[in-house]
Structure 1
């Protein structure tokens, strides 16, 4: 049968329209799949994260705080976060391997409380470390005053968690009452739980104790002795101390009839559990970023 020109034209329009319709359907069916493969991720700057910590922790600015940037810029887009006690050269390199360019360190990066690189004249080592941080495009923020200001204090809470002492812990005191144990067993528990190879003690290993005060870090001899006097623990556990202050107080106390004992953990090891716990605190608030803990470790070799 002979087709008219009009019929042929209408048939071509129908085929073309159908093809477009089918193609559109095909595209609409694959577009969601591509969306799932390439999800959008929220970006955070260093300042965004600091602001988030302040907000979520209900923290107010502290005048004269040491919690400032030690390297880098607040506007840096963060690729990952590492928490640590000290931003050592080893930690800086490990953070880069993990793809993290933001280190939150609890203690100084440049060997003094204010991180003044001119604290000692001709400190070339501090400048080498600055150069390493710059080469790695890494920002370091010290979080000391603010993390201790969290409720509860994250450094103390982290230690209680690691020692399995949370059932005995209350937020308003560093002194807890644990089931009665010998000083020797307490020392073993501390070493095993915190990963410490050697501890220094003053006391009788056979003595039984239950009232324990945990003062991590280096709060100073005046605070350590004041707490020992006012809270009367069986055992005072500290991070570090001036040997001519707290240690001599404990020694004389025992010589005059007191049963108080002293255990020295080391500054790094006493507070590292807190920076480890800070990952648990921060990670749920940053679902698009990986937060990891890299221990800086005990700097000493025990012979």
Structure 2
């Protein structure tokens, strides 16, 4: 996710507690490595060692007051397998347990608010049940939001663009991509096919031509979305989610006053999860002896 709705603090910059507690032991046993005719056991990692490796290999500096903290488990836990995903849902937790993995790296909150404060709603029975489920399966959850967006390039945006086969048009740090002209209808179909999305909402004429695409996966918030629309002047603004009373009304009025700018809403998880899938390719070669897998967070909505 990127930024929040108007008049709220940036979710990327929001202050929670520091993520990185000290740790260091060992992890998983898979197949031993063979070098110079000598068998070496696979390296073992603790949760903390994996986190430290990500920060080191990503050339990242520790982020003070980050929301990227442990939401369950222990930094000293020896890792038996890693799963990346968008949300550590109940279904994801059960799938992770079946894989004999015990470390979830999730992009978004586990307990329904940005800082994962369990007292956001006091005596929340669903929070308590979910905490018990994580404890039962001995699963550690680490949120990976601020750090993954700090990679160069931002791994969420890069993974999404890669999934769309738009890397030839992508420039690190730029949200607007110029693609060969297509109709809005064709562009919608491309998003649906590439990102596995069943239904999309749009504002615009399906037959209008689109070439300049401003792609803002996640939740940037109305001010950032409208700001990019004003600055970049795209043919179509593509967002993960929005406040309908902000960006959608801006697009409606802009079109009423002569603009041809269109809007496509992908859905929050559906717009960013390709980045968490790509992160497996980034992380796996850096770990010896521990399996890194990706599990898709399913769309929670049913269309009637």
Normalised by the shorter chain, which TM-score bucket?
0.7 to 0.9
Tell me the SS of whatever aligns to 2:63. Answer: coil
TM-score by length of 1: 0.87
Structure-2 residue corresponding to 1:297: 298
Distance across 2 between alignment mates of 1:114 and 1:88: 16
| 1:1-303 paired onto structure 2 within 5 Å | 39-303=40-304
Distance across 2 between alignment mates of 1:102 and 1:45: 10
Distance across 1 between alignment mates of 2:127 and 2:39: 42
**Distance apart, 1:99 and its partner CA:** 1.3
Structure-1 residue corresponding to 2:15: none
**Distance apart, 1:39 and its partner CA:** 4.9
Larger radius of gyration: 1
List structure 1 segments (4+ residues) > 4 angstroms apart after TM superposition.
Answer: 36-39
**Distance apart, 1:37 and its partner CA:** 11
Looking at secondary structure, tell me which structure has more helix per residue: 1
RMSD (Å) for aligned C-alpha atoms = 1.4
TM-score by length of 2: 0.87
CA contact 2:42–2:288 (8 Å) conserved in 1: no
Total equivalences in the alignment: 270
Distance across 1 between alignment mates of 2:74 and 2:128: 17
* 1:54-112 Cα deviation digits (max 9, x unpaired): 00001111121100000000000000000000000000010111111000000000000
Distance across 1 between alignment mates of 2:281 and 2:77: 23
Distance across 2 between alignment mates of 1:140 and 1:152: 24
Distance across 1 between alignment mates of 2:217 and 2:198: 17
Tell me the SS of whatever aligns to 1:210. Answer: strand
* 1:221-245 Cα deviation digits (max 9, x unpaired): 0000000000111000000000000
**Distance apart, 1:38 and its partner CA:** 7.3
Distance across 2 between alignment mates of 1:50 and 1:39: 24
Tell me the SS of whatever aligns to 1:228. Answer: helix
Tell me the SS of whatever aligns to 2:181. Answer: strand
Tell me the SS of whatever aligns to 1:214. Answer: strand
**Which protein has greater RCO, CA pairs closer than 8 Å, 6+ apart?**
2
Distance across 1 between alignment mates of 2:140 and 2:74: 6
* 1:7-26 Cα deviation digits (max 9, x unpaired): xxxxxxxxxxxxxxxxxxxx
**Distance apart, 1:287 and its partner CA:** 2.5
CA contact 2:44–2:78 (8 Å) conserved in 1: yes
Tell me the SS of whatever aligns to 2:272. Answer: helix
Unmatched segments (≥5 aa) in structure 1: 1-32
Distance across 1 between alignment mates of 2:249 and 2:152: 33
Distance across 2 between alignment mates of 1:266 and 1:206: 22
